[in-house]
Amino acid sequence: MGLPDIEIELVRDGLGLVAETNDNTCGIVLSGAAVQDKLELNKAYAIYSTDGAKKYGIEPEGDNAAAYRHISEFYAVAGTGKKLWILMAEQAAKLSDLVNTDKPICPAKVLLNKAGGEIVALGLTTGTDAGEVLDGLDSEVYLAMTKAQVLADAFQKKIMPFVTVIEGRKFEGDADALRDLKTESKYRNAIALCSTQTDGSASVGLVLGRIAAIPVQRKISRVKNGALPIDFGYLSDGILVDEDREDLGTIHDKRFIIFRKFPNKSGFFFNGDFTATSATDDLNIIARIRTIDKATKIAYNTYVEDLDDDVEVNDDGTLHPSVAAYLKKKIEDQVNNAMDGEISNFVATIDTSIDVLAGNAQKIYLDITPKGYLSAIRVVLGFKNE
């Protein structure tokens, strides 16, 4: 029987904690040259500062100067200590080559897989162009957008969602010639025309840096974020952005990411964080995509432990009310706790009309109302045991 004693048991699930999501980790595909004993082409590396880039032979001068520029602009906004996944593709790689899954090596895919779902925003940059103009830009820009959407769709199914920021290279300066991105359906892509240089490039690192520095619900164009740490701002046509530039409104309406200025206020700001899709698409800005992606990851992390679990059912094979109530409370507690201040409202609805005994997928509807948006965005989870 043993001596009388006091037994103490630790309860380790009372706080309702959920696995942490990586909300601000970015990645960027660059182009340049390998560095002996330091940097391999098409290999992913994680860095936390510009010194980290130098460790791999990415310096302000030399073959990898353009890559260093993007990285340094990222850290100028994000700050030292932010994790950045980088991959150096060969110098001759065009933008579409970086996301072409039909090639033996798809640099973006290598980077995304190595990061294991951490990357929320992926930058695509290069120094090699197609040499042909399409709708006001180097034709590779739009081709890369199409291929990047295919890649993003594939990773979305693996619960590794991301949004792509594409370098809008070689803008010809004709705003009317630009494609209206509202006519596209490539919602996981944004095109940046803003640049700190006059060489036809665009400052993708700067955009990623802002994304890395702010919470998921916040737009990169929020004025309270502060002015960007740059002295001069151009578009990729090499023309300065100032109050007298008359084509900015047209470019803004076509939903490209550019710099803007405000009268009587110093500094440069982003105009928005638009994606290439209809203006009526709920996910037409990066902030909403980041919000919905975070909720999706939380939902997956929350419910994955319940997959293939044995549950009580009614006579007709539908979930017992107590099980439905458990599933509803579990996800609502997790999302509301993890996204406090990042969303306006969250409601989960368990479909109790489904016969799970017959092998049908249990559906759970997640309605998320982001900040500054009046209607909910719905995520449908298929929860299937077979």
Residue 18 predicted with pLDDT over 80: no
pLDDT confidence of 6, banded at 50, 70, 90? very low
**Burial annotation 163-189 (CB, 10 A radius, 16+ → b, else e):** bbbbbbbbbeeebeebbebbebebbbb
pLDDT of residue 12: 42
Average confidence (pLDDT) over 188-211 = 98
Tokens of 44: 């992913």
Strand-pair partners of 61:
none
pLDDT of residue 385: 47
Whole-number average pLDDT of the chain: 90
Q: Which residue has the tokens 């391999």?
A: 40
Q: Which residue has the higher pLDDT, 1 or 23?
A: 23
pLDDT of residue 3: 59
Residue 309 predicted with pLDDT over 90: no
pLDDT of residue 382: 62
Q: How, if at all, do strands 265-270 and 259-262 pair? A: antiparallel
> What is the C-alpha to C-alpha distance for residues 177 and 309, in angstroms, rounded to an integer?
56
pLDDT of residue 10: 46
Contact 140, 93 (CB under 8 A): no
DSSP code of residue 281: S
pLDDT of residue 143: 97
pLDDT of residue 196: 97
Average confidence (pLDDT) over 111-122 = 97
Quick one: which H or E segment has residue 87?
A: strand 84-90
In this structure, of 131-140, 175-184, 353-362, the range with the lowest mean pLDDT score is: 353-362
- Cβ burial of 322 (10 Å; 0-12, 13-18, 19+) is exposed
Contact 298, 339 (CB under 8 A): yes
> What is the C-alpha to C-alpha distance for residues 19 and 300, in angstroms, rounded to an integer?
10
Neighbours of 263 (CB within 10 A): 5
Phi, psi (deg, nearest 5) at residue 380: -110, 120
pLDDT of residue 15: 44
pLDDT of residue 185: 95
Residue 374 predicted with pLDDT over 70: no
| DSSP per-residue string spanning 224-241 | GG---S-S--EETTSPBP
Specify the pTM.
0.88
Domains in the chain, CATH or no CATH each: 26-275 (3.40.50), 290-383 (3.10.450)
pLDDT of residue 100: 97
> What is the C-alpha to C-alpha distance for residues 190 and 167, in angstroms, rounded to an integer?
9
Tokens of 174: 């004709």
Average confidence (pLDDT) over 266-275 = 96
Average confidence (pLDDT) over 107-128 = 97
Q: Which residue has the higher pLDDT, 329 or 150?
A: 150
Neighbours of 336 (CB within 10 A): 14
pLDDT confidence of 301, banded at 50, 70, 90? confident
